[in-house]
Amino acid sequence: MSTVPERPVVGVLALQGDVREHLAALRAQGAAPVTVRRPEELAAVDGLVLPGGESTTIVRLATRFGLLEPLRAAVRDGLPVYGSCAGMILLADRVLDAPPDQETIGGLDVTVRRNAFGRQVDSFESELDMAGLGGGPVRAVFIRAPWVEKAGAGVEVLARVVGGPADGRIVAVRQGCLVATSFHPELTGDRRVHALFVEIVRGHLAEQAGAGAGDERG
C-alpha cells in the first residue's frame, strides 16, 4: 500500500544563495531537508526550493553540473518547487530586463521583471498580507528583488505590495505545486511560507499515494 512519509524530503538547490537558511526553515516545519547539486540528488527529493542569489549565475552553474534539463523535466513532471527572489526568476516562463541569453527553468506562467525594485542599496522590508497564511502580515525582505509584471489565468496571486511607488505590484504567486515570492522569508525567522510549501509537498505526495493505491486495486 502506498503511504505518505512523515518527513518529506525537500531539497534546496545548493549552487548559490541562502541555502543554510532554507534548510533550517524546512527542518523547523517537519521536512527532511537535503542539498541538491547533482541530478541523482534531485531525483531523490519530494520537493525543491530554489533560493535567492543571481539567476544567471545559478543557471550557468546548473548547466555545468548537468542539472538544468533535469530541473526542467522535474517541473514538467509536477515536482513541487518554491522559488524565492532569484528562484522566482528561474521558475518564470518569461523574464524582462534580462540578458539576451537568460535561460530559466520555467513552468510558472508569469512575466517577471528582474531587479524591479532597484539595486542592492534599494533593498527594503515591508509588511504584506499573503493569501493562505494565517497569523497576520508577513515581514518581507526585498533584496534586488523581481516582481511579477503579468500573471497568467491559471496563476493565483498571493501577495501584492501596498503603498509606495511599487503599490499593487505582485510579489507572491502560486500555480499548482509551484510557489514563488519576490522576498526572502528565510531571513526573517517567520516560517509560514515554508510551512505552506511543506504542506503543498505533503498534499502532492498524498495525491501520488492515492493514485498508486488506485493502480494496485485496478
Within the chain, where are the H helices? 19-28, 39-42, 55-64, 68-76, 86-91, 192-217
Q: Does residue 194 have an active-site annotation? A: no
Q: Does residue 85 have an active-site annotation? A: yes
DSSP code, position 155: P
* Catalytic residue selected from 85, 177, 194, 204: 85
Q: Which residue has the cell 493569501?
A: 131
Nearest-angstrom CA–CA distance, 67 and 37? 8
User: Do 49 and 82 meet the contact criterion of CB atoms below 8 Å apart?
Assistant: yes
Q: Does residue 177 have an active-site annotation? A: no
Sign of the torsion formed by the C-alpha atoms of 144, 149, 152 and 155: positive
* Catalytic residue selected from 21, 22, 177, 184: 184
Residues 6+ apart with CB under 8 A from 147: 112, 113, 116, 117, 161, 166, 169, 170, 171, 182
* Catalytic residue selected from 22, 186, 194, 204: 186
CA angle at residue 25 from 7 to 110, to 5 degrees?
Answer: 95
Q: Which residues are catalytic?
A: 85, 184, 186
